[in-house]
Amino acid sequence: MAPDIQFAALADPTRCRVVELLHERPLPVHELAAAFSISRPAISRHLRVLKDAGLVREEKQGRENVYSLQRQRLRPLADWLNRHWNPRLAAPRPAAETAPAAPQMEFDL
């Protein structure tokens, strides 16, 4: 999947929070919905966007839909960011020589 589709899916703060919640473990939709102050149908729409981008997987377990993060699908995003990251941008400016150097950015999944 092209990184632009995945970045677009992650461009929403609610969807980013869903990814963070799913980082820990797969969760049923009702537990995900309980973590937000928006309706369950709204959460389902956000999950659909993440699913269509290949970032989450839905699995039916009995009467529940359980969602899990597809970590390996984040690799293209990390590779794209690493390829375009410019370490000179993270270096301190001359006026801030006393500030600690910015860490090297490396996305390792």
Between CA 2 and CA 46 the distance in angstroms is 19
What is residue 59's predicted lDDT score, i.e. its pLDDT? Answer: 96
Length in residues, the chain: 109
Kindly indicate the confidence band of residue 3, based on its pLDDT and cuts at 50, 70 and 90: confident
Edge-first strand order for the sheet with 56-61 is 27-28, 64-69, 56-61
What is residue 26's predicted lDDT score, i.e. its pLDDT? Answer: 97
Q: Which domains does the chain have, with CATH numbers?
A: 3-73 (1.10.10.10)
Q: Which residue has the tokens 């390829």?
A: 83
